Structure 1
């Protein structure tokens, strides 16, 4: 009997947010009395402040020893992904597809997601300390590397960008709150751990708010009128292909580096993930002054739903297989 596939509730919430942006745009509209930009800006700062509080220093210290695993995961996250997208730039340059290509590069340059990576690795009986280390450090590395990948190509678009404002926003909304969270870990880490579920809900609420606001502006400016149904279907197909290729390549890299079973799981699960949290935050900093944020987030949201669905199925299967082997032994 086929097991019933359970759709992630957060994926459903994302779809509802987009529908609300289309049907009830009043709260997020340009003339709205609600200060959405200020709310989302403060929300982003709190997300990274709480992120700093929650970073496990013990897990980070333990994780430093397995440098081959870390190099593989971070290499997949910040090199392999973007290098798979870059060769297609000459094909789309100066065409109507350049923004869609930029959306894929944006997704490819993002850090790995923390919570789902750790949960899935745990389900599959992988290297959990390695997953915590790589998922955590990935978010910090992404603050530097994600804009570096994007900025050369943003400059080539027809959209006007204030780069000093971009860097100032990255520093004030992300770097400073993160550093402050790390400095206050000694005093507030226990509180953050106790309220972990509440903080996780807060993160998701802010993400949904940013998605709602971004899509309201995109619908206002009729950005999606330039994307046909065929292009949307092609986008979904390309996201699936990208995931399959990266999952296969990270598996091959793990075999070349002779990873054990636990490290191989962590390498593939963490190395194929992309963070919707960082994606929504970075889209605000890099593209918030434009009306293209909705399109920029599209491939990422499709990928987010896909990675949760596929990896959860694989994680469940691998976890059961390992339990059966342990029972036989």
Structure 2
């Protein structure tokens, strides 16, 4: 099983692509900085709009309606995404925040504030034989709620990291470049939904390319400002350890909560995978919109990048374990 997982990850060009984006930013930071030759601000806005237009085209309305009925699952998943995660950050900040760089603390807060991911949550729920309609509904609902709740959470807690955020301006930006294309994509879905389904692999590739461009430009600003040379390798270790620790705690809490509430195994799987996931696909564009040309932007998205890879690895193993349970019987 681990060998199959390693081979699967090796075929995925996105992970090495992220490393390549960071290396290119270290080698050529001036090209991708805000105001540089790449015109990163314009490229970012156009790319973000296009990505969320494609997300809107891909949201299956019929399956969303089918998932509405399991309301208890939805409450638990959204509570973990937008309440439990931020409270975990707050507890960690109380315990160790004074010894952590403020920009890295903001990055961990941002990780805890972003919505759940759609594609991998649904895919892994399907592999594990969970409640797929509920997973589709929750992951999609999380993305919509995040447009408002993510900036609100950051605004509520950011003062502890020494930062501030304008709520009205942040929500307006997110609505214009995230909510508007999502709604437009849903309106266009009856007209071009068939075409979109045929070319889904190519649109998924475009989605990932845009994210890599945003990662590159984000790290260009950070490297050009000397951020990483000021902090050194210790910051990478702290960001990685913080992301992995948060993932481990949330996986334990989602599993125990679902079982304590008497959920079926299918609903437990949905809670575990949707309630523990965080989106890199939406998180990087949202960070660009919320923090703009902040020279610490690369450091702010760094914990989310680590979390993304850790959740794919760990949740893939969990999905295969769930999938091996006998039909109609719980897993061990």
| Structure 1 CA distance for aligned equivalents of residues 304 and 188 of structure 2 | 32
Cα contact 1:113–1:135 (8 A) shared by 2 = yes
Q: Are 2:249 and 1:239 aligned? A: no
C-alpha deviation, 1:200, in angstroms: 0.9
The one of 314, 317, 321 aligned to 1:310: 314
C-alpha deviation, 1:157, in angstroms: 5.8
Moved more, 173-182 or 113-122: 173-182
Cα contact 2:77–2:274 (8 A) shared by 1 = yes
Secondary structure, counterpart of 1:321 in structure 2: coil
Structure 1: give runs of 5+ residues left out of the alignment: none
Aligned alpha-carbon RMSD (Å): 2.4
Cα contact 1:44–1:174 (8 A) shared by 2 = yes
The one of 74, 79, 93 aligned to 2:78: 74
Moved more, 8-17 or 41-50: 8-17
Partner in structure 2 of residue 24 of structure 1: 28
Q: Are 2:216 and 1:212 aligned? A: yes
| Structure 2 CA distance for aligned equivalents of residues 281 and 2 of structure 1 | 32
| Structure 1 CA distance for aligned equivalents of residues 104 and 118 of structure 2 | 26
The one of 127, 131, 142 aligned to 1:127: 131
Partner in structure 1 of residue 105 of structure 2: 101
The one of 285, 288, 304 aligned to 1:300: 304
TM-score by length of 1: 0.91
Q: Are 2:129 and 1:112 aligned? A: no
Secondary structure, counterpart of 1:259 in structure 2: coil
| Structure 2 CA distance for aligned equivalents of residues 299 and 2 of structure 1 | 24
Kindly tell me: are residues 153 and 289 of structure 1, through their superposed partners in 2, closer, same or farther at Cα, counting changes over 3 Å? farther
Query: What does residue range 282-293 of structure 1 map to in structure 2 within 5 Å?
Result: 282-293=286-297
TM-score by length of 2: 0.90
| Structure 2 CA distance for aligned equivalents of residues 227 and 324 of structure 1 | 52
Query: What does residue range 164-203 of structure 1 map to in structure 2 within 5 Å?
Result: 165-203=169-207
| Structure 2 CA distance for aligned equivalents of residues 195 and 174 of structure 1 | 22
| Structure 1 CA distance for aligned equivalents of residues 195 and 317 of structure 2 | 33
C-alpha deviation, 1:62, in angstroms: 0.6
Query: What does residue range 35-46 of structure 1 map to in structure 2 within 5 Å?
Result: 35-46=39-50
| Structure 2 CA distance for aligned equivalents of residues 103 and 61 of structure 1 | 34
Secondary structure, counterpart of 1:3 in structure 2: helix
Structure 2: give runs of 5+ residues left out of the alignment: none
The one of 152, 155, 180 aligned to 2:156: 152
Cα contact 2:221–2:293 (8 A) shared by 1 = no
C-alpha deviation, 1:147, in angstroms: 0.5
Moved more, 177-186 or 281-290: 177-186
Partner in structure 1 of residue 3 of structure 2: 3
Cα contact 2:148–2:171 (8 A) shared by 1 = no
